[in-house]
């Protein structure tokens, strides 16, 4: 048997829990080594469940250990990792949960998973120094409207029809998520300016404003959009919050760009 055939057969058995041990294996004492082979099957699944548990602790707390394990198993079967970097595994866990029928009674689970994955991504993201709000006062005021912001590489924005921040915060502080009022959605910013990952609920209008900046809109364009869609949009207040989080790394003036 060629090495290619042997490894294909090994993996085919590995991925089929009901399958017998592959034919390529020696049979000590004349017995098919099913239990022995099962050590590999078990190692793969258990180590991946553990990887998901450590990346999605709040999802686990929300649904309980047993349900989480069963869900993780289904996800692993559906979407095995494609990279040896375990901290990148689970990018699609949120969308899997959205469509996972047994989790239909917990419809916000996918958004909580996306928030947790954003935290993990922020933790491992490129480091970059942030600038202070006072930097803006050094720029010619008439050019500020055309300024483009370079946001921190660790930053992720999330919008949810569920109170995803409150659910996450209640569960990560070991409180019960039962008391969270599910009627209102929440927008979230996830960022790691230094050592610690920061998760904050965005004030009204903040998500659209930041998405516009992130997409390359100038400060003036982003503020104009926000003013049209959000009542009483307070630009100074939003800028203070944004710089306070260490979310801005550079400001480029359009007409000074080479």
Q: Which residues pair with 211 in a beta bridge?
A: none
Q: Does 57 bind other proteins (CB under 8 A)?
A: no
Q: Using alpha carbons only, how large is the chain's radius of gyration in Å?
A: 24
Count other C-beta atoms under 10 Å from residue 144's C-beta.
16
Total residue count of the chain as it appears in this document: 258
- The half-sphere exposure of 115 on its side-chain side, counting CA atoms within 13 A, is 29
Minimum CB separation from other proteins for residue 41, in Å?
9
Binding mask 8-47 for other proteins (x = CB under 8 A): x-xx--x------x-xxxx-xx-xxxxxxx-xx--xx--x
Options 16, 78, 80, 102; binder of other proteins; rule CB under 8 A: 80
To other proteins, the closest distance from the beta carbon of 95 in angstroms equals: 19
| Residue number, 69 or 235, with CB nearest to other proteins | 69
3-state DSSP assignment of residue 64: coil
Closest C-alpha to 187, from 111, 117, 120, 125: 111
Binding characters for other proteins, 107-146, by CB under 8 A (x = yes): ---------------xxxxxxx------------------
Residue 154 or 160 having the CB closest to other proteins: 154
CB of 120 to other proteins, least distance (A): 9
Q: Which two tokens stand for residue 174?
A: 């070991």
Q: How far apart are CA 257 and CA 238, in angstroms?
A: 25
Residues numbered 145 to 204 that lie near other proteins (CB under 8 A) are 153-154, 192, 195
| CB 68 to other proteins: min, Å | 18
CB 170 within 8 A of CB 176: yes
For the chain, the maximum distance between any two Cα atoms, rounded to a whole number of angstroms, is 86
**Applying CB under 8 A, which residues contact other proteins?**
1-4, 6-8, 10-11, 14, 21, 23-26, 28-29, 31-37, 39-40, 43-44, 47-48, 50-51, 80-87, 122-128, 153-154, 192, 195
């Amino acid at each position: 048997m060629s090495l290619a055939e042997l490894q294909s057969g090994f993996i085919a058995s590995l991925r089929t829990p009901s399958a017998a041990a592959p034919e390529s294996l020696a049979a000590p004492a004349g017995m098919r080594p099913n239990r022995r082979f099962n050590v590999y099957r078990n190692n793969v699944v258990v180590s991946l469940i553990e990887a998901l548990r450590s990346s999605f602790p709040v999802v686990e707390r929300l649904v309980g250990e047993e349900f989480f394990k069963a869900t993780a198993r289904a996800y692993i079967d559906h979407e095995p990792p494609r990279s040896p970097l375990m901290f990148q595994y689970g990018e699609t866990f949120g969308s899997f949960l959205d469509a996972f029928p047994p989790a239909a009674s917990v419809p916000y689970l996918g958004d909580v998973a996306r928030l947790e994955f954003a935290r993990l991504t922020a933790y491992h993201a490129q480091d970059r120094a942030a600038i202070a709000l006072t930097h803006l006062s050094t720029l010619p005021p008439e050019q500020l409207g055309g300024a483009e912001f370079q946001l921190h590489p660790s930053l992720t924005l999330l919008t949810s029809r569920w109170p995803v921040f409150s659910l996450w915060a209640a569960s990560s502080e070991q409180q019960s998520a039962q008391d969270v009022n599910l009627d209102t959605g929440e927008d979230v910013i996830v960022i790691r300016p230094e050592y610690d990952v920061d998760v904050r609920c965005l004030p009204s209008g903040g998500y659209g404003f930041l998405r516009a900046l992130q997409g390359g809109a100038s400060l003036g364009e982003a503020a104009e959009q926000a003013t049209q869609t959000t009542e009483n949009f307070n630009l100074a207040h939003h800028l203070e919050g944004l710089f306070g989080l260490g979310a801005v790394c550079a400001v480029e003036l359009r007409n000074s760009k080479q």
